[in-house]
């Protein structure tokens, strides 16, 4: 099996992520390119390590995290399935059938329409992906557009994000600091609920509870 660093040097993957980055920016979405891929990859590795997955599963989590969104350059709808299939076509010789199946599942199952878990790697990727909310993910500069779009607004309001692990109590907590001048906590919670349901579902699959703390208020 190749490592994340070796995977990153594949010119097809780089081009697909580059195109995804541009396409999503043009569609006024938050970043789905290298920035998001790297953050989700790092976070997936951290989660996998913190919950005690084996080293190989940590690497697979980081790889799936890096590659989960690259097929957005083709279409937003079904990008998870396109991603899984193109991943196979691009990297078939680099992974064993068992490794490839896990990676394809993690990519295919990260989207809300097919979010059913049958292995920890898929759940780790969902937790890493759905918890990526932050101001720096907003690529649009025009404040009028940011305020109009719910995803841009939610992300723009977040000044800092931190995942915490309590291994004794088995709780994974997402700590957010949000700008309440921009979005009040209650409105934030309202529009953020769906994402939190995915995080909770993923955490539960891993045997953890999921906690949400916004500006030191414990909301979950
Ligand atoms: Fe996605
Ligand atoms: Fe994503």
Number of neighbours of residue 150 by Cβ within 10 angstroms: 11
Number of neighbours of residue 173 by Cβ within 10 angstroms: 19
Distance 28 CA to ligand 2 centre (A): 15
How do residues 83-115 score in pLDDT, each as one tens digit? 999 999 999 999 999 999 999 999 999 998 889
Distance 138 CA to ligand 2 centre (A): 13
- CA 94 to CA 100: how far, in whole Å? 9
The ranges assigned to domains in the chain are 4-218
CB–CB of 63/103 below 8 Å? Answer: yes
Distance 32 CA to ligand 1 centre (A): 8
How do residues 143-181 score in pLDDT, each as one tens digit? 898 888 888 888 999 999 999 999 999 999 999 999 988
Across the range 202-208, mean pLDDT stands at 97
Across the range 26-52, mean pLDDT stands at 97
Across the range 195-200, mean pLDDT stands at 92
How does the average pLDDT of the chain come out, rounded?
94
CATH 1.10.3210.10 fits 4-218, yes or no: yes
**74 vs 184, residue with greater confidence:** 74
CB–CB of 33/19 below 8 Å? Answer: no
pTM of the model: 0.95
Distance 129 CA to ligand 2 centre (A): 5
DSSP 132-198: ---GGG-----HHHHHHSHHHHHHHHEEEEEEEEETTTTEEEEEEEE-TTTS-HHHHHHHHHHHHHH
Distance 11 CA to ligand 2 centre (A): 21
Distance 194 CA to ligand 1 centre (A): 14
Q: How many helices (H) and strands (E) does the chain have?
A: 10, 4
Distance 6 CA to ligand 2 centre (A): 21
Residue 69: phi and psi, rounded to 5, are: -115, 5
Both structure tokens of 159: 């000044």
Judged against a pLDDT cut of 80, whether residue 220 lies above it is answered with no
How do residues 120-137 score in pLDDT, each as one tens digit? 999 999 999 999 999 999
């Amino acid at each position: 099996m190749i490592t994340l660093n070796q995977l990153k040097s594949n010119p097809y993957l780089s081009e697909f992520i580059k195109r995804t980055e541009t396409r999503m920016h043009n569609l006024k979405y938050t970043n789905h390119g290298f920035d998001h891929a790297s953050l989700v990859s790092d976070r997936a590795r951290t989660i996998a390590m913190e919950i005690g997955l084996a080293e190989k599963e940590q690497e697979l989590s980081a790889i799936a995290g890096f590659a989960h969104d690259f097929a957005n350059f083709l279409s937003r709808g079904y990008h998870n399935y396109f991603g899984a299939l193109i991943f196979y076509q691009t990297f078939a010789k680099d992974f064993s059938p068992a490794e490839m199946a896990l990676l394809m599942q993690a990519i295919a199952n990260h989207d809300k329409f097919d979010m059913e878990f049958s292995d920890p790697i898929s759940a780790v990727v969902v937790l890493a992906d759905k918890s990526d909310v932050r101001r720096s993910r907003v690529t649009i500069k025009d404040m009028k557009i940011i305020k109009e779009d719910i995803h841009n607004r939610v992300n723009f309001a977040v000044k800092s994000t931190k995942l915490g692990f309590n291994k004794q109590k088995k709780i994974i907590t997402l700590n957010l600091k949000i700008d309440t001048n921009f979005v009040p906590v209650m409105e934030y919670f309202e529009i953020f609920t769906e994402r939190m349901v995915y995080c909770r579902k993923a955490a539960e699959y891993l045997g953890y509870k999921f906690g949400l703390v916004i500006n030191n208020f414990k909301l979950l």
